[in-house]
Amino acid sequence: MRPRERRETGEHDLFRSRLDQIIDLNHALVKLSRAIDWRFLEGRLGSVYTDGPGSPPLPTRLMAGLAILKHMHDLSDEVLCDRWIENPYFQFFCGEEFFQHRLVFDRSSLTRWRQRMGEEKLVALLRESLAVATRTAAMRPKDLARVIIDTTVQPKAVMFPTDAKLINRAREIMVRLAKRHGVVLRQSYTRVGKIALIKHQRYAHAHQFKRANKALRAIVIPAMQAMIGNTIERAITDAGYRGHNAPPDYKFKIYTAGQKRRVTLQIKRDMKRRAAVEPVIGHLKAEHRMGRNHLAHRAGDAINAVLAAVGYNFYLLLNWLRLLLCAILATIFGSFKLQTA
């Protein structure tokens, strides 16, 4: 079945408090919730469901709002559930009209919803973040005509069976069991195992970048244009994208670091600006859950990267709305003081 989407009813309840009566409606999270086109998200994300028998899924605004809040504030699923119960602004953002004292969803619902949506549908959240930035004047459409592309590594929160760290861990457990049961070992390989592990990690780290560069040379610009809703005039990339396989129509719109041909003064200035993407990657990893991916399988890798970008964009919009509100209040009180003076 399709989800039963929530709509503002304006009803009152004698035994429950309306959220719009106990929160500050000028709060940045409230303004952000009203700037988002939830019907657009309902149409895009709700298209994975079909009409048929069965229990209706949870509302799209609830699940999409939870995904945004999770990556905007760097919360695990468990902490997100706790914060949702405590925070009326979180509940209002997710479409609740009355304050809820209990969870209206299960923690496992977050995992199942992410798996059902997949990367393709969750890109709609990224598109909406850019649309909100345009509607609130935080960004101009022409700002999306030029993009900066940089490669990075998203660590996975797993240890593979062939990993040297896992082998060393098994050795430690075997030595511990031998000591517990009184088995005398000629050598525990404690120091030798530690040195061997360090050497292996250094070698693996050096080889990792070669594999990463081969895997990340693909540039599919038409998909990026469809996502941001604008035409890309120029893409500035790092040296890892040499030998890219961009479509022929877009081949001469891509400039890699160290390139000499077809490089004008304006393009040189844009290349100097390429380093500005590094702090963005740092924020994504440190504050928006891209530093360690806990989602399973390859689909989880893509989903986590998309949601990290969604959380980063909406976090910037939240700060923009705070500053905008402060500027408006300063203007109002400034004019009021002039009139009274």
Do 103 and 133 sit in the same domain of this protein? yes
Averaged pLDDT score across all residues of the chain: 84
Greater model confidence, 315 or 153: 315
Domain C-terminal end among 175, 200, 215: 215
Is residue 40 within 8 A of residue 97, CB to CB? The reply is no
Domain for residue 340, yes or no? no
Do 269 and 247 sit in the same domain of this protein? yes
- Expressed as residue numbers, the domain containing 290 is 19-151+216-332
pTM of the entire predicted model: 0.78
Phi, psi of 147 (to 5 degrees): -125, 155
Do 265 and 319 sit in the same domain of this protein? yes
Do 131 and 52 sit in the same domain of this protein? yes
User: Over 90: is that where the pLDDT of 67 sits?
Assistant: yes
SS3 state of residue 255: strand
pLDDT in tens, 168-181: 777 788 888 888 88
Number of domains present in the structure of the chain:
2
| ∠ CA 246-311-83, rounded to 5° | 155
Domain for residue 180, yes or no? yes
pLDDT in tens, 246-293: 777 777 788 888 888 888 888 888 888 888 888 999 999 999 999 999
Averaged over 137-160, what is the pLDDT?
83
Do 200 and 220 sit in the same domain of this protein? no
Q: Find the DSSP H helices in the chain.
A: 28-35, 38-45, 60-72, 77-86, 88-93, 107-135, 164-180, 190-215, 221-228, 265-272, 277-287, 297-340
So what's the pLDDT on residue 110? 95
So what's the pLDDT on residue 313? 95
Do 143 and 259 sit in the same domain of this protein? yes
Do 271 and 259 sit in the same domain of this protein? yes
Domain for residue 136, yes or no? yes
Do 146 and 247 sit in the same domain of this protein? yes
Do 49 and 197 sit in the same domain of this protein? no
- The confidence band for 209, taking pLDDT boundaries of 50, 70 and 90, is very low
The token pair that represents 170 in the structure block: 């098994």
| ∠ CA 29-30-35, rounded to 5° | 95
Domain for residue 338, yes or no? no
Is residue 107 within 8 A of residue 77, CB to CB? The reply is yes
So what's the pLDDT on residue 216? 45
Do 122 and 35 sit in the same domain of this protein? yes
Do 80 and 220 sit in the same domain of this protein? yes
d(CA 83, CA 66): 11
